[in-house]
Amino acid sequence: MGLQLPHGRPHLVYGGAALKASITSVDVAGKRVLVREDLNVPMSGGHITDDTRVRAAAPTLQHLASRGAKVIVMSHLGRPKDREPELSLKPLAPDLSRRVGRDVLFAEDCVGEPATRAAAALQPGQVLLLENVRYHTEDEANDPGFARDLASLGDLFVNDAFAASHRAHASVVGVASYLPAYAGELMESELGALHTALDNPRRPMIAVVGGAKVSTKVGVLLNLLKKVDALLIGGAMANTFFKARGWATGAGLVEDTALDEARKVEAAGGGKLVLPVDLVCARRMEAGGPLRILPADKVGPQWMALDIGPQAVRDFASRLRGAGTVIWNGPVGVAEIPDFADGTKKIGEAVAASGGYTLVGGGDTIAAIEALGLAGRYSHVSTGGGATLEYLEGKELPGIAILKEA
């Protein structure tokens, strides 16, 4: 994961390129450490419904506080149009406190008098959570004045928000113009996992990519095809490949504007691209209706493909058996409906049982493995959605580019 340099202090590897400095190698005692986390969690009625991201953020905050830092945490939540009370970070403070194992104080704003007063009063080992940075439109605009105001609260900056690092926002990128910027422990583990899977993979290397759209993943598919030994495609995006071949896809979801992109990906595949040979089909995307297993090239009118079929499951599982490295992004069916979750569950089990290094990413994939009881069975589960996809596409993420080099 993180690379151990000769003096024994951990640093991380980024994409086989520059080494980035970790906050674990810096003396933080008595210093104000401004930490960007991604606490963009689902909420209902003022309560967190899934605290995966809070749990992921906690170790960095815990370790900084235990080393005597004055820890100041900033994050966004949702996409507020105004200061919407339901998108306040205040309800997160008790859960964060539980996870970090010490009181978490709260500032009613992320800049201005409430923030500066709260930051000035912090003692070593204390943790302060700032209000939602997106209450200020200047965050997404990467406004230099706003970035300077945020930076004035700290002596050092830590980016631990891998999931937000594809965004050039003031709280992710802008503050690094004013403070030395380091990687946090979650960032380190995310980049270490991506480095292990992509830059120096054990062979054979297999990728499983699902989800609905080819258009949002075409760059990922083309980049992965340069690296993998096989690329297994599931989910509704398979329909677009089928239609691009001239096959009947019935009433299934097809991205008609991406047929040329699908042909381009298949042409680049050179036999590495593997599509399902059979499909679980229904007339409606709902539980309890009649199901048919149909060959992938014979989905008749009024039927829609909603999962990969039993033969496709066997084909995919046999490819995954004995894999050295597996990257899995996206469920292979409509996994939130039990009638169409079998393919995702069985492929998830095959990925876990492959014996290789397994990297799983994407919000829908994480929701599926939690719901299907597969959690805890993979080498690394990424917190990043769009950031993971952009990394898999080979793009440089602005929130990583700004970190100090080791």
258 & 235 share domain: yes
Confidence label for 15 from pLDDT (cuts 50, 70 and 90): very low
Q: Averaged over 76-80, what is the pLDDT?
A: 97
CATH classification at residue 8: 3.40.50.1260
Residue 406 placed within a domain: no
DSSP letter at 163 equals G
The predicted pLDDT at position 9 comes to 38
Could you list the beta-strand ranges (E) of 122-186. 127-130, 156-159, 181-183
136 & 233 share domain: no
- CA–CA gap between residue 80 and residue 69 (Å, rounded): 31
Strands across the sheet with 156-159, in order?
Answer: 104-107, 127-130, 70-74, 32-36, 156-159, 181-183
Q: Averaged over 347-356, what is the pLDDT?
A: 96
Pick the more confident residue, 366 or 204. 204
176 & 273 share domain: no
Residue by residue, what is the 3-state secondary structure of 104-137?
EEEECCCCHHHHHHHHHCCCCCCEEEECCHHHCC
The predicted pLDDT at position 385 comes to 85
The predicted pLDDT at position 17 comes to 53
Give the closest residue to 401 by CA, choosing from 15, 2, 23, 74.
15
DSSP letter at 199 equals I
Token pair, residue 9, equals 């202090």
Is 386 catalytic? The answer is yes
Q: Averaged over 80-89, what is the pLDDT?
A: 95
Query: Last residue of some domain: 186, 212, 233?
Result: 186
- CA–CA gap between residue 283 and residue 252 (Å, rounded): 9
The predicted pLDDT at position 406 comes to 79
The predicted pLDDT at position 2 comes to 32
- CA–CA gap between residue 347 and residue 280 (Å, rounded): 15
Residue 22 placed within a domain: yes
Give the chain's mean pLDDT.
93
174 & 207 share domain: no
Token pair, residue 317, equals 């599982």
Question: Which one of the listed residues 174, 210, 343, 363 is annotated catalytic?
Answer: 363
Residue 398 placed within a domain: no
Residues with Cβ within 8 Å of 208's Cβ and at least 6 positions away in sequence, in order, are 232, 234, 316, 320, 326, 327, 328, 329, 330, 332, 347, 351
Task: Please write the tens of the pLDDT for every residue from 364-380.
Answer: 888 888 888 888 999 99
134 & 222 share domain: no
Strands 3-4 and 10-13: antiparallel
Query: Last residue of some domain: 138, 164, 186?
Result: 186
The yes-or-no verdict on residue 304 having pLDDT over 70 is yes
The predicted pLDDT at position 28 comes to 98
Query: How many structural domains compose the chain?
Result: 2
Residue 298 placed within a domain: yes
The predicted pLDDT at position 11 comes to 47
159 & 198 share domain: no
Q: Averaged over 388-406, what is the pLDDT?
A: 92
Give the closest residue to 239 by CA, choosing from 229, 250, 228.
250
Residue 36 placed within a domain: yes
Task: Please write the tens of the pLDDT for every residue from 116-161.
Answer: 999 999 999 999 999 999 999 999 999 999 999 999 999 999 999 9
Token pair, residue 301, equals 């009118």
Residue 403 placed within a domain: no
Token pair, residue 127, equals 């943790």
**Domain ranges, residue 73:** 3-186
Confidence label for 3 from pLDDT (cuts 50, 70 and 90): very low
Is 45 catalytic? The answer is no
Token pair, residue 221, equals 């598919």
Q: Averaged over 237-241, what is the pLDDT?
A: 98
Question: Which one of the listed residues 20, 36, 53, 346 is annotated catalytic?
Answer: 53
Query: Last residue of some domain: 162, 186, 210?
Result: 186
52 & 176 share domain: yes
Q: Averaged over 233-246, what is the pLDDT?
A: 97
R_g over Cα of the chain: 23
212 & 313 share domain: yes
133 & 250 share domain: no
The yes-or-no verdict on residue 352 having pLDDT over 70 is yes
Strands 43-44 and 32-36: unpaired
Pick the more confident residue, 368 or 246. 246
Q: Averaged over 353-358, what is the pLDDT?
A: 96
181 & 197 share domain: no
177 & 46 share domain: yes
274 & 230 share domain: yes
The yes-or-no verdict on residue 89 having pLDDT over 50 is yes
Is 363 catalytic? The answer is yes
Question: Which one of the listed residues 15, 125, 324, 386 is annotated catalytic?
Answer: 386
Residue 401 placed within a domain: no
Residue 399 placed within a domain: no
Question: Which one of the listed residues 213, 245, 264, 272 is annotated catalytic?
Answer: 213
